[in-house]
């Protein structure tokens, strides 16, 4: 085991020691150690992974030429699922033999073909320790009795299993008043659990996909659960969330706007697992940026508020390439300069705090005033994400994103919508039209004249929204509305193009 890994293991084995270590080490320490780990990951993969050896040979890259991190960034090509994962057999992509791997998870099959992701025996040994400190940092599990409800899909999908595996040793340790339940994506069982035992705990932490939270709210209301009386906390991931969604959720659960512990997010993928996690600091930055558009622009170079989290460079080293996320991670299937094709970027801890200070925000002082101790402020870099690049539809030179449309779905007149997709429809003549496909919630039906009226109503609301929030689309629409005017197609629950979603663990927006 490398010295850095031994050091992490020593400090992380004790929560008090870990919190001191995580909060004391300067940003430069994490950056330096992260870069060293990247070089180790590269060399191990170049020596032991058959597929990666072939790929480097194709690009005429010699291991001995990569001596520094600068060499790594300048000479090692960036790969992705298409030109690496899909080209080579699983056995050839593994760090060793497939039969030596401890577990295997699967991607959700959003591309039509499920992909296997093996994990080595020692890969996740430290994960429960990191989760323990994450729970302490965000939700004070040492001071509050906590019911943790995992509502992500279980089975071979990594997210639900990942969280459950990492949390159970913490619950089993008896150090905390913490109970874990794993109903998975069964909303009725989630409600039975919360209704049956939730009131016994100081707080209830619901872990799930953002799109699954609203059905929980709606079914709970039908079962006469008064959400405001329960101290609900949320930890979500797997999908981007809009500012409107966050406001709606806070209102439904009765959470105060400045409560940094109410909503946390995780950025993770089936390729690599959990990569970046919310902290009180990242939650505060997100709150400030949601209210200060100029701050948001200076931090993230965009008018849309992204999801923001922090990551440990010693576990995952994240790069940004042309506005997309590139990860480096030593695992059962090592990923080196691997482009996930999620839109977003990285901002260093020091740079972020400098920008915040220039806007008049002393965030460390603000956190202390809110009751957070210094050992809960970790000097890790920030990762911000806007969602999948391939969730983008381009029409008339304009890019349209799901985030442009999703906020209006919380309006009362659109509440019968379950999910949607953006797509381009091509006629027999080759003419392309921008289309929005809408799936209704279970039990919602429309026919005849009411169907035509509903299509027109949805068209007018969604078009108005796009023209207001997307300047490029507005220009394209004004130049040629024939192809950019959205076609609205409505389907019943799990009907038409949504029938395949029976196998999905979360919504697909394109």
Q: Structural domain boundaries of the chain?
A: 13-123+280-389, 126-255, 393-503
Write out pLDDT tens, residues 344-357: 999 999 999 999 99
For 478, the enclosing helix (H) or strand (E) is helix 471-479
From the CB of residue 469, how many other CB atoms can be counted at a distance below 10 Å?
A: 17
Digitized pLDDT (tens) for each residue of the chain, 510 residues in all: 555 566 666 667 788 888 899 999 999 999 999 999 999 999 999 999 999 999 999 999 999 999 999 999 999 999 998 899 989 999 999 998 999 898 888 765 444 467 888 988 877 788 888 899 999 999 999 999 999 999 987 776 677 888 998 999 999 998 999 999 999 888 899 999 999 999 999 999 999 888 778 889 988 999 999 999 999 999 998 766 767 778 888 999 999 988 999 999 998 877 777 899 999 999 999 999 999 999 999 999 988 788 899 999 999 999 999 999 999 999 999 999 999 888 899 999 999 999 999 999 999 999 999 999 999 999 999 999 887 666 677 676 667 878 788 777 777 778 788 888 888 776 555 566 888 999 888 877 766 677 888 889 999 999 998 998 887 788 778 877 877 899 999 988 888 888 754 445 455 444
| DSSP conformational letter for 60 | T
Give residues with Cβ within 8 angstroms of 28, minimum separation 6: none
Domain 126-255 class in CATH:
alpha beta
Long-range pairs of 26-31 with CB within 8 A, sequence gap ≥ 24: 26/379, 27/348, 27/349, 27/350, 27/379, 27/380, 27/381, 29/379, 30/312, 30/313, 30/314, 30/349, 30/379, 30/380, 30/381, 31/313, 31/348, 31/381
Distance CA 366, CA 360 (A): 11
| DSSP conformational letter for 157 | B
- Residue identified by tokens 């981007």 is 240
Closest CA to 57 of 71, 69, 46, 66: 46
| pLDDT for position 427 | 59
| pLDDT for position 274 | 85
Extract the tokens encoding 190: 């989630």
Print burial letters for 362-388: b (CB count within 10 Å at least 16), e (below 16).
Answer: ebbebbeeeebeebbbbbbbbbbbbbb
**Furthest-apart CA pair in the chain: how many Å?**
71
| pLDDT for position 76 | 95
- Please indicate, yes or no, whether the overall pTM of this predicted structure exceeds 0.85: no
| pLDDT for position 383 | 96
Radius of gyration of the chain (CA): 23
| pLDDT for position 247 | 84
* Nearest-10 Cα torsion for 227, 232, 233, 237: -40
CATH of domain 393-503: 3.30.300.30
Q: Strand 178-181 to strand 335-347: parallel, antiparallel, or no bridges (unpaired)?
A: unpaired
| pLDDT for position 444 | 75
């Amino acid at each position: 085991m490398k010295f850095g890994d031994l050091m992490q293991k020593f400090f992380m084995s004790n929560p008090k020691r870990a919190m001191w270590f995580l909060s004391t080490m300067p940003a430069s320490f994490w950056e330096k150690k992260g870069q060293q780990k990247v070089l180790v990951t590269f060399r191990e993969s170049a020596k032991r992974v058959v597929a990666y050896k072939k790929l480097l040979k194709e690009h005429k890259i010699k291991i001995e030429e990569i001596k520094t991190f600068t060499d790594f960034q300048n000479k090692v090509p960036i790969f992705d699922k298409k030109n690496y994962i899909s080209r080579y057999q699983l056995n050839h992509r593994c760090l060793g033999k497939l039969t030596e791997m401890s577990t295997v998870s699967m991607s959700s099959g959003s591309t039509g073909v499920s992909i296997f992701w093996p994990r080595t025996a020692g890969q996740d040994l430290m994960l429960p320790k990191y989760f323990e400190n994450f729970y302490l940092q965000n939700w004070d599990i040492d001071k509050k009795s906590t019911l943790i409800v995992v509502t992500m899909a279980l089975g071979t999908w990594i997210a639900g299993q990942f969280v459950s595996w990492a949390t159970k040793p913490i619950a089993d340790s008896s150090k905390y008043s913490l109970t874990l339940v794993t109903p998975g994506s069964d909303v009725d069982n989630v409600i039975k659990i919360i209704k049956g035992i939730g009131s016994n705990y100081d707080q209830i932490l619901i872990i799930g996909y953002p799109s699954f939270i609203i059905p929980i709210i709606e079914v709970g209301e039908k079962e006469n659960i008064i959400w405001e009386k329960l101290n609900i906390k949320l930890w979500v991931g797997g999908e981007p969330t809009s500012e409107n969604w966050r406001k709606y959720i806070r209102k439904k659960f009765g959470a105060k706007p400045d409560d940094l512990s109410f909503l946390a997010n995780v950025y993770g993928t089936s390729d690599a697992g959990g990569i970046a996690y919310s902290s009180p600091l990242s939650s505060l930055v997100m709150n400030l940026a949601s209210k200060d558009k100029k701050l948001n622009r200076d931090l993230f170079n965009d008018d849309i508020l992204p999801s923001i989290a922090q990551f440990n460079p010693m576990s995952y080293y994240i790069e940004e390439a042309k506005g997309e996320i590139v990860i480096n991670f030593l695992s059962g299937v090592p990923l080196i300069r691997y482009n996930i094709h999620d839109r977003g970027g990285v901002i260093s801890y020091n740079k972020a705090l400098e920008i915040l200070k220039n806007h008049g925000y002393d965030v460390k002082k603000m956190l202390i005033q809110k009751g957070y101790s210094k050992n809960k402020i970790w000097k890790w870099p920030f990762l911000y994400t806007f969602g999948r690049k391939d969730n983008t539809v381009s029409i008339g030179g304009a890019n349209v994103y799901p985030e442009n449309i999703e906020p209006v779905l919380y309006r009362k007149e659109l509440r019968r919508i379950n999910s949607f997709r953006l797509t381009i429809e091509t006629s027999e003549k080759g003419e392309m039209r921008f289309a929005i496909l809408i799936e209704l919630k279970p039990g919602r039906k429309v026919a005849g004249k009411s169907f035509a009226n509903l299509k027109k109503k949805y068209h007018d609301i969604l078009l108005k929204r796009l023209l207001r929030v997307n300047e490029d689309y507005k220009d394209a629409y004004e130049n040629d509305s024939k192809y950019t005017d959205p076609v609205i197609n409505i389907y019943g629950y799990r009907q038409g193009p949504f029938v395949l979603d029976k196998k999905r663990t979360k919504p697909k927006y394109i």
